[in-house]
Amino acid sequence: MPAVELSDSAARADDLALLLEAAAEAGAIAMRYFRKSPEVWMKGGRSPVSEADYAVDTFLRDTLTAARPDYGWLSEETADTPERLSAHRLFVVDPIDGTRGFLDGGDQWCVSVAVVEQGAPLAGVLQCPARKERFWAERGGGSFLDGARLRVVEIGHTPHVGGPKPMIDRLQAGRSGDISRVAYVPSLAYRIAMIAAGRMDATFVKPNSQDWDLAAADLILREAGGMICNATGAAPSYGGETTAHPALAAGSGELLRTMTGLLSGLAE
């Protein structure tokens, strides 16, 4: 009997189901270490990584690549190799986005998993087990939080904006109204998902964010009616030779356009 090829939409739905199942188990693995003093190392002397990060990364790599052996693999906690560049589709993974918050015992961290094709996310999941939340999206299929469809909110007179203080100060200097600064969120992916969920209006992203910080959250925000932009107004592309990004802004509407216009000079 000849093999049956899935349509593109069916393949995306199949990938989303795989991500949802794997991310749920990955979140459970992370919770086994949460607030239990896992062993910690410093990467490059600056960024912490814990045994929880490695345990989640190993589980996801083994599970996802076994299910899709022809997909490439890009993860914060796996040494990158050029083989992924020739893959038609690519898993982009952050085992624990917001490791510092995780190690401090805060609940704003998540497992971030996405499937990317030709630079664009097709499916993405943020599993946030300490908050008992799960965000997900597939391209053209909408964005959801625990089954409830998401849509960015209409921005009020005093927008709620996250990101580095110098960037917010620059935005405030060019506005006549006030800005409410959102308290620090250790997970960039979760911060972007908060925009999709209507919990904040926008955020700046400092230079050198990575594909694994952004890919899943980008799709979740886009399917909710928002966008991530660089200084030229273009969306990030994922899975290329370079995984780092310049300064970015995430949000919607006129506020996002204003923020994007302020990124010049911060893009490197």
Q: What is the pLDDT of residues 132-163, one digit of tens each?
A: 999 999 999 999 999 999 999 998 889 999 99
DSSP 19-47: HHHHHHHHHHHHHTTTTS---EEEETTTE
Strand duo 133-138 + 148-149: pairing: unpaired
Do the domains spanning 8-149 and 160-261 agree at the CATH topology level?
A: no
What are the residue ranges spanned by the domains of the chain? 8-149, 160-261
Q: What is the pLDDT of residue 177?
A: 80
Report pTM.
Answer: 0.94
Q: Looking at the domain covering 160-261, what would its CATH class be?
A: alpha beta
Confidence class of residue 44 from pLDDT cuts 50, 70 and 90? confident
- What is the CATH T-level fold of the domain 8-149, as seen in this structure? Fructose-1,6-Bisphosphatase; Chain A, domain 1 (3.30.540)
